[in-house]
A and B are shown apart, each in its own frame.
Chain A
Amino acid sequence: MMAEMILLTIATAATPLLLAAIGELVVERSGVLNLGVEGMMIMGAVTGFGVALTTGSPWLGVFAAIIVGALFSLLFGFLTLTLVTNQVATGLALTLLGLGLSGMIGEAFVGQPGVKLTAIYIPGLTDLPFVGKLFFGQDPIFYISILLTVGVAWFLFRTRAGLTLRSVGDNHASAHALGINVIGIRYLAVMFGGACAGLAGAFLSLVYTTQWIENMTAGRGWIALALVVFASWRPLRVLAGAYLFGAVSIGQLHAQALGIGIPSQLLSALPYLATILVLVLISRNRRLTMINTPASLGRPFVPDR
């Protein structure tokens, strides 16, 4: 019983990471590095909360968050794809702007009880011992995150469109020469990433805690970025990574509650240290990294005419 509840808590912790990371994976597979995940996520969080609060419908909040995430990412897209600005700096600017804007928009919402996206309930299945709640009794966004992961994996590696996207990421010059609309595809990818990040944010403020407070993403956007690299840009590995990270975050709280005498700061630092360690291990094998890294990642693309 306790194990099931812990797994549920881990799933809740992992879902926003998974959503944001899957979106960013698609963006990076198309050759664009968008560091603004944190900003897009928090805009989604404030939008989702605000719309849900004012309309009373959490689903409207979710849809609004997705749209706002995509629109916000358009800012980034316009600057990096059309004006060819530096992707790293622009992504950072997006994060800073998102944090500031959301804080301002959300001021009216601080301290308000939110609207919760209720978990699904399938009579008969949800009440099964152990697996019931875990597989059949979670909130809808959890299921979306799993479907999205599988869907993106299938899209990237089993469809022609996915192949096109990957080719744009691997060699945008060749793709352009073949007549592929590099900029157009990248715009779509960036917006998809924004939508996913917005959804992740909505999850935070409508399921995780049903509250709004500024900076509530607390660095999750950056963790999502790390997860994409950690997973070598493969969707199913992102799933594993997100759950691993969630487990470490929750595990440290349990360790405290059990009275294990390790300093809480060390336990809190574990997820970050673990990420660095994994990144180092993954990147060491240059060949492996180069096979999986989209070769055009972060490189500006200006078509010569």
Chain B
Amino acid sequence: MRIELVRRPQHSALFSALSPFIALGLTLVAGAIMFSLLGKNPFDALYYYFIDPLTGIWDPGNRWQLHELAIKAAPLILIAVGLSVCFLSNNWNIGAEGQFIAGAVAGSFIPVLFPEFQSWATLPLMLVFGMAGGAAYAAIPAFCKVRFNTNEILTSLMLVYVAQLFNDWLVRGIWRNPEGMSFPGTIRFNEYAILPQIWPDAGRAHWGFVFALVAAVAVWFMLSKMLKGFEVKVLGQSPRAGRFAGFSSAKMVFFAFLLSGALAGLAGISEVAGPIEHLNEKISIGYGFTAIIVAFLGRLNPLGIVAAGIILALTYLGGESAQIAIGVSDKAVRAFQGMLLFFVLACDTLIHYRIRIVRTQAASAETAAAGAS
């Protein structure tokens, strides 16, 4: 007896829609088992992880959690939207974390080096520079891939470490706040350089979340309604077919990397100019990698990514309240996220293939019959 995959003639629309939910369901079950093994009540744990942060929808006292959800989801969505274009075109940008940092650094140089430049133009310029910085940093692995045929997974990944160390060197050295008692970190950004909150009285959610939504809609539009989107998908699935259509693989590499770099850079500068309000050595906590999960959970569709980003933000917030309420460690969050990605990928198979369990005797009888006729 063996498991066999039979390719479907067409992608199953049913499973395209269902697969993320099945994956979520399986993750919840696996998570429940994991919590039981840890000796915690699985229903309590799941409640704190997924329901508690959302109670703000009906409970005004808890509305601040919804804002925190938006703060956490914004960079994830921004980065993941860019990554979706990359992954769809078969460009594996694993270095979004580095591009996030590059954008944060590039955008920060205005308030740090020119603190007297305070006008309505300050923040927009910072955002533009942030995007440019992220894009420029992403151009490096793109260039290496196109010109030298170097594997972009490894180059983009190594550059993450380089970016982290460079940022560390900057905020401890030449960009360090002279009044900061020699601790690392730049000066606080002036008020013109801070990304404002949307509803300051209700919570801390800032405009970064709006950027994320706008980016998601814009990229969704490009992917589904514009020729460029078609180009992305064709080159991803069959470079040869793309060549026949006149699409350039090399140009697509640059397009994909620059776009995702810019979005990651925007996420970076938004995070730095928003909740943190200055540049320090701790800005990167793995958004670039979690965004990969978000991209896949959202089935590489920007609209799905918005939902996926919120779900992953939920796990972060939920992990915290679970830690306080029932003593589950924060590491469970990571395990959760890994399991989620596993199940998403496994369920995706159902979209392309039908599973068939074949009994060996029947198979050989079939082949014999087929051979005879």
Question: Interface of A with B (CB < 8 Å)?
Answer: 35, 39, 75, 79, 82-86, 88-90, 92-101, 103-104, 107, 214, 219, 222, 225-226, 229, 263, 265-266, 268-269, 272-273, 275-276, 279-280, 283-284, 286, 289, 302, 305
Instruction: Tell me the B334-373 residues at the A interface (CB within 8 Å).
Output: 334-339, 341-342, 345-346, 348-349, 352-353
Cβ of B335 and Cβ of A84 under 8 Å apart?
no
Cβ of A269 and Cβ of B155 under 8 Å apart?
no
Q: Is residue B154 within 8 Å, beta carbon to beta carbon, of the partner chain?
A: yes
Cβ of B345 and Cβ of A90 under 8 Å apart?
yes
Contacts of B154 in A (CB 8 A): 222, 225-226, 229, 275-276, 279
Tell which of B3, B289, B342, B348 has the most Cβ of chain A within 10 Å.
Answer: B342
Cβ of A89 and Cβ of B296 under 8 Å apart?
yes
What 0/1 readout, one digit per residue, does chain B (2-36) give for beta carbons within 8 Å of chain A? Answer: 01110100000000000000000000000000000
Cβ of B38 and Cβ of A104 under 8 Å apart?
yes
Instruction: Tell me the B99-149 residues at the A interface (CB within 8 Å).
Output: 144, 148-149
Cβ of A85 and Cβ of B169 under 8 Å apart?
no
Contacts of B94 in A (CB 8 A): 92
Which 8 pairs between the two chains have the least Cβ-Cβ distance?
A97-B338, A100-B334, A100-B335, A103-B331, A96-B338, A93-B341, A265-B169, A265-B165
| Interchain CA distance A35-B345 in the complex, whole Å | 15
| Interchain CA distance A251-B148 in the complex, whole Å | 29
Instruction: Tell me the B162-202 residues at the A interface (CB within 8 Å).
Output: 162, 165-166, 168-169, 172-173
A88-B153, A229-B154 given; A97·B349 CB < 8 A: no
Cβ of A85 and Cβ of B346 under 8 Å apart?
yes
Q: Is residue B69 within 8 Å, beta carbon to beta carbon, of the partner chain?
A: no
| Interchain CA distance A96-B342 in the complex, whole Å | 10
- What are 25 contact pairs spanning A and B, CB under 8 A? A35-B153, A79-B342, A83-B346, A84-B349, A85-B348, A85-B349, A86-B345, A86-B348, A90-B345, A96-B337, A97-B339, A99-B334, A100-B336, A103-B334, A219-B161, A265-B168, A266-B165, A269-B161, A269-B162, A276-B158, A276-B162, A279-B144, A279-B154, A283-B148, A283-B149
| Interchain CA distance A104-B161 in the complex, whole Å | 25
Cβ of A93 and Cβ of B345 under 8 Å apart?
yes
Q: In the complex, how many angstroms separate the beta carbon of B337 from the nearest chain A beta carbon?
A: 6
| Interchain CA distance A275-B148 in the complex, whole Å | 14
Q: Is residue B293 within 8 Å, beta carbon to beta carbon, of the partner chain?
A: yes
Cβ of B289 and Cβ of A96 under 8 Å apart?
yes
Specify the chain A residue showing the minimal Cβ separation from B334.
A100
- Residue in B148, B293, B345 whose beta carbon sits within 8 Å of that of A85 in the complex: B345
Specify the chain A residue showing the minimal Cβ separation from B157.
A222
- Residue in A90, A284, A305 whose beta carbon sits within 8 Å of that of B148 in the complex: A284
A83-B5, A85-B346, A93-B342 given; A104·B165 CB < 8 A: no
Specify the chain A residue showing the minimal Cβ separation from B352.
A84
| Interchain CA distance A272-B144 in the complex, whole Å | 15
Q: B interface, how many residues as a size bin? A: 35 or more
Contacts of A226 in B (CB 8 A): 154, 158
Cβ of B349 and Cβ of A83 under 8 Å apart?
yes
Cβ of B342 and Cβ of A90 under 8 Å apart?
yes
Cβ of A302 and Cβ of B341 under 8 Å apart?
no
A84-B353, A229-B151, A289-B149 given; A104·B331 CB < 8 A: yes
| Interchain CA distance A92-B288 in the complex, whole Å | 12
Specify the chain A residue showing the minimal Cβ separation from B339.
A97
Cβ of A268 and Cβ of B345 under 8 Å apart?
no
| Interchain CA distance A90-B346 in the complex, whole Å | 9
Q: In the complex, how many angstroms separate the beta carbon of A297 from the nearest chain B beta carbon?
A: 10
Cβ of B5 and Cβ of A84 under 8 Å apart?
yes
Q: In the complex, how many angstroms separate the beta carbon of B35 from the nearest chain A beta carbon?
A: 10
Contacts of B96 in A (CB 8 A): none
| Interchain CA distance A68-B349 in the complex, whole Å | 26
A75-B342, A97-B339 given; A276·B5 CB < 8 A: no
Contacts of A98 in B (CB 8 A): 338
What 0/1 readout, one digit per residue, does chain B (64-99) give for beta carbons within 8 Å of chain A? Answer: 000000000000000000000001000010100000
Contacts of A222 in B (CB 8 A): 154, 157-158
| Interchain CA distance A265-B293 in the complex, whole Å | 30
Q: Is residue B333 within 8 Å, beta carbon to beta carbon, of the partner chain?
A: yes
A93-B342, A104-B335, A225-B154 given; A280·B144 CB < 8 A: yes
- Residue in A83, A89, A101 whose beta carbon sits within 8 Å of that of B335 in the complex: A101
Contacts of B352 in A (CB 8 A): 84
| Interchain CA distance A35-B292 in the complex, whole Å | 14
A83-B5, A289-B149 given; A103·B165 CB < 8 A: no
- Residue in B92, B157, B329 whose beta carbon sits within 8 Å of that of A107 in the complex: B329
Other A-B pairs beyond A103-B331, A279-B150, A280-B155, 4, CB < 8 Å: A93-B342, A103-B329, A103-B335, A104-B331
| Interchain CA distance A79-B5 in the complex, whole Å | 12
A79-B346, A88-B92, A279-B155 given; A269·B331 CB < 8 A: no
| Interchain CA distance A180-B126 in the complex, whole Å | 58
| Interchain CA distance A268-B38 in the complex, whole Å | 38
| Interchain CA distance A216-B157 in the complex, whole Å | 18
| Interchain CA distance A196-B260 in the complex, whole Å | 35
Q: In the complex, how many angstroms separate the beta carbon of A90 from the nearest chain B beta carbon?
A: 5
Cβ of A100 and Cβ of B331 under 8 Å apart?
yes
Cβ of B292 and Cβ of A92 under 8 Å apart?
yes
Specify the chain A residue showing the minimal Cβ separation from B159.
A276
Tell which of B161, B289, B329 has the most Cβ of chain A within 10 Å.
Answer: B161
